[in-house]
Structure 1
Amino acid sequence: MDRIWQILMDFAAYPNWNPYIKEISGEVKEGSKIKVHMKQEWEKNGVTLRPRIIRLNPGKELTWKGSFFFPGLLDGEHSLILEEISGHKVRFIQKEIFNGIAIPIISTSWSIEKGTVRSFGDMNNALKKRAERAR
């Protein structure tokens, strides 16, 4: 579990392995703002957000909350969570909770829900490969 947490917290290495979150920078501390650049494989430029860390439980969870354009339009709460299953088995949970006034419009769109799920899967697989190579 510690190894996976180390990989997740090594933001400088994200461009080397992470196909979805291309950059994270800033102080990892509850209440601080960080810079996160995400790019889905079919996007030309991706999106850069400056969310605030709202939960940090070292070794177990990092959650940030950010907004697209302005707060209340489309907000996203992104979590990276580790759960120990047994021995050397760890469950990695990555989730996003969207809310805001744009949800009714966007929920009919393919890009937010399906695109996010696909990108999470790509990142999760890359994390698994990186963790297994590190053994």
Structure 2
Amino acid sequence: MSTTITTTIDIAADPDTVWTVLTDFASYSEWNPFMSRVEGTPEVGSRLVVRLTPAGGRGMTFKPTVLVATPGRELRWLGKLGLGGLFDGEHFFVLERGADGGTRMTHGEKFSGILVSLMRGATKDADDGFDAFNRALKHRAEKVVAR
């Protein structure tokens, strides 16, 4: 069983600027309402430590592995509950340059595993968290451009 959450937002900043903000993990606590902490480096094969803090929900920390890290284009990681196959999440950020020079960011997660049907509430919290993340990233990236 699987389910995918997909959100999009248009950002008035080029993909390289958005990438810089997206991968400046050390600054997440300053602006990010959903992922209060990310440690590690955006390099394929590396492990991250991600702390999620959904509004009104319980926070959780997990240690995903980076699957794709293409500057200015895509960041993707895979987190697993337990050994995998129970409740896995492949999180993604895809950046596309718009005709106006800005960025359309597609942000989402594909949840898979035998516990997905039992975790519907968690996926709703994730959807709300992704939207909050998107708005905050947009604000921060556009603020960088305005300097």
Task: State the TM-score, normalizing by the size of structure 2.
Answer: 0.84
> Residue 131 in 1 paired to residue 145 in 2?
no
Give the equivalent residue in structure 2 for 1:2: 16
Give the equivalent residue in structure 1 for 2:31: 17
Give the equivalent residue in structure 2 for 1:89: 102
Give the equivalent residue in structure 1 for 2:51: 37
The number of residues matched between the two structures is 131
Greater relative contact order structure (CA < 8 Å, 6+ sep)? 2
Which AA in structure 1 matches 2:21?
I
Give the equivalent residue in structure 2 for 1:72: 85
Alpha-carbon deviations, 1:70-102, whole Å to 9, x = none?
311100000011110123321011110000110
Aligned Cα RMSD in Å? 1.3
Paired with 1:28 and 1:128, the residues of 2 have a C-alpha distance of 20
Q: Identity, % of aligned pairs?
A: 34
Paired with 2:22 and 2:126, the residues of 1 have a C-alpha distance of 18
Give the equivalent residue in structure 1 for 2:73: 60
CA contact (8 A) 2:52 2:60 kept: yes
Alpha-carbon deviations, 1:41-79, whole Å to 9, x = none?
1124x1111110111211111100011233111000000
Which AA in structure 2 matches 1:81?
V
CA contact (8 A) 2:89 2:109 kept: yes
> Residue 113 in 1 paired to residue 113 in 2?
no
**Any unmatched runs of 5+ in structure 1?**
none
Paired with 2:41 and 2:135, the residues of 1 have a C-alpha distance of 26
Which AA in structure 1 matches 2:92?
S
Runs of 4+ residues deviating >2 angstroms: none
